[in-house]
Structure 1
């Protein structure tokens, strides 16, 4: 009979109970269609480069090489993703490798070039290129320094957002030698104006949090929206993008529950059962699982490192009713049009990044510094909100002073600094103020002595 079947296994020796274990198996009857599963992994670290171009921490590199022992070698979580996909051939995934993470990888490679970290950077980039060429993965892009798009739009800084999107897209396309047309929205902080910005920058698809957004969705057809179908979002200007809503509960189950497991196989069985429940009601549905691709495996239990591979093996074994596909493949069949959708983030609103004395002071500082930079830029006839080319060899600087100042401002707009501001993470606050204060000092000095 279809469903979960529970068993108790007892092992006896000479009439004495040696072992008793409860287990269960899942029986699924294929329905002629397969559940389409979209796995989206977000790999991100904030800018650990100071304004002098020195690394304050090597975390962006260490997550390539030294998170844990796995299969008799020292490995980082980023390369773990590659090795899991290389080992299990029948699985596809989608990755946002945050542009500022790749920027830091290449900054290190350009400067040091011949050590284990540099070799890991080369292996990671070449591996992603190869899997992408083979159609095994899709690469997304993102605003380069991980700002919250909805907040920048609400602040009236739309041009900064567009510049950061253009910079991130151009940079990753140069690195991976391919066009990229999907956007990872940092913290899924969405505002409908983003539809026009995405359209203008050549981006066609994204993913949003189902728990926080689906209730505010209005469809042109009048139908009720579902988590398990792709949609088209149409702006007031007639621009369109395609969207999937992630299953937040299943995504969180992997991110917060499965990652703390001491039994990865048991966690995978639970995951399969959750997918089966969707399949039972939506045999041709699309389930999007989207979450951080690093923290669940780094911060979880020792056994969490095996979870990724076990998941992939299970999806490949269950291919008679599960098909893993990329985001692009999933949204291709979107027909229903969303005419109205609310503003928000995966956390609901934006208090996580804006509320609290320290955070409010940081936002006030950012407003002041940006105003000063705009005034200075106008005074010398420069471009407001430029999208300068990035050279990792001189990171985080650009080819001229004005572009460098704007690049520093974009770094200060990152969500990472305020995310940690009330958590006693002093370094993140100091990093924010280093860039802001340096912009102020340089502009004030230039205004006193233009020569």
Structure 2
């Protein structure tokens, strides 16, 4: 391992995740975000790694995302497309589609960052201007929109969601963007088949990168549950003592459910990538002492969380001492022990992670990359009495790039080039870094106590604690009670029990609770509110018992709050 006195280790972890958008009753996808991020972000991120073979980093794939990527790949193989928007791209005559399908195209195909994904393309902007003009005249005018308009809109939406690396290297995309309009069914089919090829190559590309040793692949409990809350709602009060909790005292059988999600993730990883994952990024970096016990029981070697969790834990561990300077405690791993076993815990640098997630998109790519490097060098110069300094930069590997020009192409390319050439900064993985600690016999600081929390604000306030979020938990608890009762009886066959179990797991995802609240837009809240209640309804259907009328009413409607909203958050409030 490189000398610790002169080199700063950097671990970049890109977290790849989408919740389960499948309707378990119809098999249809309720939202298209898996395949859209696949052709844009998962594709581009693999491309940058392939072009910079000396970069080492961690890619965290949530198994439920991989499930859906494989499902889309199979759809293209077998010719049955179960995503309504993707299916419409291949419809021969768009003049003959239903009013509902027309509305789906018009309501979906402007959903992107207009500054980076619409306005740069005059032909796409023209379609938007025409739509706005007709909208001012009334909804009825939209029914006069031609099939050709819908064809052009579908093509441009998918072109806008195509990765920058694909645009630069694929002749089909270059030709379609040059053509600009009047796309034929043949044009649409070329794009359709390209989408299939891109999706089918994603998992093999990352598996190859892992097999070469360039990246470490880590995992998350299978359906991305907020594990500490499944185990114990009162863990929310570790960081927020006055937090309002659901009326249900606990989620029934929550610890067993977390163990199920984790073991399922390990099995998924082994099947897809040929090995067990060494580490786990818990959903939302949400940790608690009982969760770490489960990770240790399942043999995981490392996990990671947010900087706020570490600060709160150090205050809890040493209540009579002031918190040291940030550079003295953040850039090192900590060992959490239970019995004779332990796990290494890493904590993200919130400032650096948020610069990538929120700020650098406003900069020129080269300038942003240089600033990132300067910040790393400043950290290296300010660290003392730390034989193995490591900076952990952990963030969403998909949603950030929509705000960047060219999908972050120049920023990532320049950043990786600078890191490859730097004599002072070494990119590595958590597994490789941990192995180096053992080889060099570096003593790892023990963490006596852990304060439960997540990477967002160091708490669980994004997922529990207000009326709407708590109501969602109460509906889920009621469904789990029913699930447990049915599972104990003879009502279902083994196959039916398996189907109900998968549907329950989807209901347990943290994503539904993320979106409830008046700080999110009504449109986003409506989509996820509907999906969550649809999942609950399907669970009751699979259990062969009537669904309660309470799931027929919206849980949350969103609002106009000026607070943070959308698929990303700053780490600190």
Does TM-score exceed 0.5, indicating one fold? yes
Matched, 1:289 2:393: yes
Q: Contact 1:38–1:327 at 8 Å: present in 2 too?
A: yes
TM-score, length-scaled by structure 1: 0.81
In structure 2, the partner of 1:243 is 345
Q: Contact 1:142–1:183 at 8 Å: present in 2 too?
A: yes
> Shift of residue 446 of structure 1?
9.3
In structure 2, the partner of 1:279 is 380
In structure 2, the partner of 1:81 is 45
> Shift of residue 135 of structure 1?
0.9
Q: 1:133-172 to 2 correspondence within 5 Å?
A: 133-154=211-232, 155-156=250-251, 157-172=254-269
Equivalent-residue separation in structure 2 for 1:381 and 1:195 (angstroms): 36
Distance of aligned partners of 1:135 and 1:293 in 2 relative to their CA distance in 1, 3 Å threshold: same
Give a deviation string over 1:11-61, Cα, whole Å, max 9, x none. xxxxxxxxxxxxxxxxxxx99621101000001111111112212233211
Structure with the higher helix share, 1 or 2: 2
Equivalent-residue separation in structure 2 for 1:321 and 1:443 (angstroms): 58
Equivalent-residue separation in structure 1 for 2:356 and 2:261 (angstroms): 30
Give a deviation string over 1:241-277, Cα, whole Å, max 9, x none. 111111111111111111232x011111111111011
> Shift of residue 201 of structure 1?
1.9
Equivalent-residue separation in structure 2 for 1:301 and 1:361 (angstroms): 39
Q: 1:200-211 to 2 correspondence within 5 Å?
A: 200-211=297-308
Q: Contact 1:62–1:117 at 8 Å: present in 2 too?
A: no
In structure 2, the partner of 1:401 is 496
In structure 2, the partner of 1:104 is 68
In structure 2, the partner of 1:335 is 444
Equivalent-residue separation in structure 2 for 1:437 and 1:294 (angstroms): 30
TM-score, length-scaled by structure 2: 0.64
In structure 2, the partner of 1:306 is 410
In structure 1, the partner of 2:282 is 185
Q: Choose from 320, 323, 335 the match for 2:426.
A: 323
Tell me the SS of whatever aligns to 2:463: helix
Q: Answer with 399-408 or 209-218: which moved more.
A: 209-218
In structure 2, the partner of 1:57 is 31
> Shift of residue 303 of structure 1?
6.4
Q: CA RMSD in A?
A: 2.4
Tell me the SS of whatever aligns to 1:232: strand
Give a deviation string over 1:144-182, Cα, whole Å, max 9, x none. 111111111113501111101111221122112222121
In structure 2, the partner of 1:258 is 360
Runs of 5+ consecutive residues of structure 1 not aligned to the other structure: 1-29, 66-75, 383-397
> Shift of residue 77 of structure 1?
1.2
Q: 1:375-386 to 2 correspondence within 5 Å?
A: 375-380=485-490
Q: Choose from 415, 420, 426 the match for 2:515.
A: 420
Q: Contact 2:286–2:454 at 8 Å: present in 1 too?
A: yes
Q: Choose from 203, 226, 238 the match for 2:329.
A: 226
In structure 2, the partner of 1:20 is none
Equivalent-residue separation in structure 2 for 1:358 and 1:244 (angstroms): 32
> Shift of residue 212 of structure 1?
3.2
Equivalent-residue separation in structure 1 for 2:491 and 2:541 (angstroms): 20
Equivalent-residue separation in structure 2 for 1:130 and 1:112 (angstroms): 22
Tell me the SS of whatever aligns to 1:112: helix
Distance of aligned partners of 1:134 and 1:444 in 2 relative to their CA distance in 1, 3 Å threshold: closer
Tell me the SS of whatever aligns to 2:21: coil
Matched, 1:125 2:203: yes
> Shift of residue 439 of structure 1?
2.1
> Shift of residue 309 of structure 1?
1.5
Equivalent-residue separation in structure 2 for 1:38 and 1:53 (angstroms): 38
Equivalent-residue separation in structure 2 for 1:297 and 1:436 (angstroms): 32
Equivalenced residue count is: 388
Equivalent-residue separation in structure 2 for 1:100 and 1:442 (angstroms): 20
Tell me the SS of whatever aligns to 1:39: strand
> Shift of residue 445 of structure 1?
4.0
In structure 2, the partner of 1:368 is 478
Q: Contact 1:144–1:164 at 8 Å: present in 2 too?
A: yes
Q: Contact 1:95–1:137 at 8 Å: present in 2 too?
A: yes
Runs of 5+ consecutive residues of structure 2 not aligned to the other structure: 80-192, 233-249, 438-442, 548-573
Distance of aligned partners of 1:170 and 1:260 in 2 relative to their CA distance in 1, 3 Å threshold: farther
Equivalent-residue separation in structure 2 for 1:40 and 1:260 (angstroms): 22
